[in-house]
Amino acid sequence: MFQIQKRIAHRFFMAFMLIAVIPIGIMGYETYLLEKEALTSSAFLHMSTIAKDHARHLDAWLKERLDDIAMLSRLPAIREACEQYYHVLDTGPPSPRLAELLKDTLAATQERSSSYENIKILLPKGEVLASNDPGPEEMSNLQDLEVIKRLRNAEEPVFGPVFRQADQRWRLHLAAKIRGRDGQPLAMILAVLDVSSTIDPFMMDRIGLGETGETYLANKEGQIISESRFLTRSETQDRSFDTLGMRSALNRTDGTAVYQSYTGREVLGSYLWLPRYEWAILAEIETGEIMRPLTWIKTVDIFTALVVTGICLVMAYVVSQRVSKPIIQMANAAHEMADGQLEQRIPFSSKDEVGVLAASFNTMAQQLSQMITTLRTKEESLQAAYNQLIATQEQLVQSEKMAAIGELVACVAHEMRNPLSSVRLNIQIIGRSLHRETMLFEHYQIALDQVTQLEKMFSDLLNYSKPLILQKSDVWMPDVLDRSQQQLESAIRNRNIHILRTMAGGLPSVEVDFDKVGQVFVNVLKNAMEASDQNGQIEVAMALGELGGKPAVVVTITDHGRGISQRNLNTIYQPFFTTKKRGTGLGLSIVKKIVDAHHGDISITSDVGKGTRVRLTFPCA
């Protein structure tokens, strides 16, 4: 039913999408592209207007300064003073009255703009006739100034290239000739402008530049000569920048483009080349700020598409319900019953043919459900009986196997221990007649050790083959550990092993066989001691834990010895598996056998070179 209803709903949904959502999406995308193109064109025009406006301001400011110098050069007082000094007093400094007159005239011109740092009147040979600069005069390199070279071939006032001094501020020289009544040059006026203090304020004007825009000037070497909004003067010092806008302007072209600015941001910029000054002026603003209105348009388009899509989904669901419900309910009930859901019923109460069919279907479903329930009950009973039979059979087979192995091992061990005892006795008799320094005594010791090892192996075989008979009683685990340590006291003292015990408070008693659990502790502690170095340490911790959701006592024995490889960890419980030169390989097998007989758990973790941890868990009484 669900698949049929889903297919019907999908068809209606796709029809509504084709009719409504797709056209709306196409119209929204076209609107977005048109708005983006309109915003870009408008931004190009806007930034071009700002760049041209700043260029006009800059041109007007420099023209005023040139007019100042030109007016100063044509003042009659300055011309008469220069003629007087040039023709009459050229053998010495000007008179105090003449010098004061010239200085006052220069000061009056300097007051017209704060950009003037100093103004000087120079004679053709470089002598300073008058100056409003109180500092020392250093005009020895006068003839090397670019502005002086330009003035020689010019009739009107000129200016030189911008330059930077030690204080990192940009400056500009202005120069004009002072001519006599006969038109011959008498002297020249040289002014120094602080470009940074005048240009920076109106170049940093952010009107029309938003949050991320700026305008700046660059000289023909690609250096920024106005204040940067994003970099300090020390960061722009002696640096030439190469951006698309700056490169295009320095190539004597004007225009607008989208490019990476000198800070790495994507900007929409306008650039102009000012040939008169050999400067480039650039106005830039981040494209993200320009395109910000498109975010709202995009949001509206997406929201509209989502709303229309949601309406289409609701309409598709409603229509599919009304069209398919009477047919799908019958198909759905049949499919779910085929999947085993026999409790399904058709909720029809009408008295027509569909209602009669639904009643017959419900009756059939009820009878089928009762029959299958009965069969399932019988199946479960048979499965339980079969499982019990298999478990009993496995126990019998295991018991018979262990009994046969035990009988065989007991017979073999008994028959071999008597000859082995005789061999041991004769070896000991032979050893009494040997001197310890001889080679034969060393072989005697080896033979005696091997006989002892064989006797121990036979004892372990007999213990392993015997069926475990547990004598359980309520035992407190620390008492078992004390007994085990006493049995190993000699070995502990010889190897100088320190056993650190940690006991949690309130440990309950456990119902175990005292001797058998003591045997477990002895085997595990002996393994830990043999794995530890001389003067080593073994930690024994006892705490309350859980086993199968029931309270249990957890005993953790940790050594810091050589550890066990991961490959050997998978086989350490197998009988006769050992990595020791004198081991029988039955120690951990016996330990696991005893722990399993107590319905406990044993787990071993180890890191090679770091040590081994054995975790023993015994259920509480």
Over residues 553-569, the pLDDT tens digits come to: 999 999 988 888 777 77
Q: What is the mean pLDDT of the chain?
A: 78
pLDDT-derived band at 431 (thresholds 50, 70, 90) equals confident
pLDDT at residue 220 in the model: 87
Q: Where are the chain's structural domains? A: 75-198, 374-467, 469-619
For tokens 């348009």, the residue is 297
Could you say which architecture CATH assigns to the domain 469-619?
2-Layer Sandwich (3.30)
Q: How does strand 266-274 pair with strand 255-260?
A: antiparallel
pLDDT at 134 over 60: no
| Sole residue written with tokens 């301001």 | 57
Cα–chain-centroid distance for residue 145?
Answer: 58
When mean pLDDT is compared across 104-113, 265-274, 499-508, the lowest value belongs to 104-113
Q: Kindly give, in sequence order, each residue whose CB lies less than 8 Å from that of residue 219, ignoring residues fewer than 6 positions away.
A: 161, 162, 225, 278, 279, 280
Where is pLDDT greater, at 509 or 6?
509
Q: Give me the pLDDT at residue 541, please.
A: 92
Q: How many residues does the chain have?
A: 621
Sign of the dihedral through C-alpha 469, 473, 476, 482: negative
> Residue 22, SS3?
helix
Where does the pLDDT of residue 409 fall: very low under 50, low under 70, confident under 90, or very high at 90 and above? low
What is the pLDDT averaged over residues 152-174?
84
Question: How far, in Å, are 96, 127, 128, 340 from residue 92 at the CA level?
Answer: 12, 11, 12, 127
Torsion angle of C-alpha atoms 304, 305, 308, 313, degrees rounded to 10: -150
Matching fold, domains 374-467 and 469-619: no
**How far apart, in Å, are the Cα atoms of 126 and each of 69, 109, 123, 130, 518?**
18, 21, 5, 11, 115
Kindly tell me if the per-residue pLDDT of 619 is higher than 50: yes
Contacts of residue 529, defined as CB under 8 A and 6 or more positions apart, other chains included, come to 488, 491, 492, 495, 497, 536, 538, 559
* Top mean-pLDDT range of 80-89, 248-257, 361-370: 248-257
Mean pLDDT of 14-37: 71
Q: Record the pTM.
A: 0.46
What average pLDDT score do residues 96-107 get?
72
Tokens of 511: 């119902």
CA distance 302 to 290: 21
CATH class of 374-467: mainly alpha
**How many angstroms separate the CA atoms of 28 and 298, rounded?**
8
Report the pLDDT value the prediction gives residue 128, as an integer from 0 to 100.
Answer: 77
Q: What's the pLDDT tens digit per position in 299-357?
A: 777 777 777 777 766 666 666 555 555 556 666 766 766 666 666 666 666 565 556 66
Q: What CA–CA distance (Å, rounded) separates 235 from 178? A: 41
What's the rounded mean pLDDT across residues 42-58?
A: 89
pLDDT confidence of residue 90: 47
- When mean pLDDT is compared across 169-178, 426-435, 519-528, 572-581, the lowest value belongs to 572-581
**Could you read off the pLDDT of 341-376 as tens digits, one per residue?**
666 666 666 565 556 666 676 777 777 778 878 888
pLDDT at 272 over 90: yes
pLDDT band at 136 (very low <50, low <70, confident <90, very high): very low
Contact status, residue 523 vs residue 515, Cβ threshold 8 Å: no
CATH no., domain 75-198: 3.30.450.20
Confidence at 579, pLDDT banded by 50, 70, 90: low
pLDDT exceeds cutoff 50 at 137:
no
What pLDDT, on a 0 to 100 scale, did the predictor assign at position 165?
77
Instruction: Between 477 and 102, name the one with better pLDDT.
Output: 477
| Residue with the larger pLDDT of the pair 574 and 115 | 115
Spell out a b/e string for 421-455, using b for 16 or more CB atoms within 10 Å of the CB, else e: eeebeeeeeebeeeeeeeeeeeebeeebeebeebb
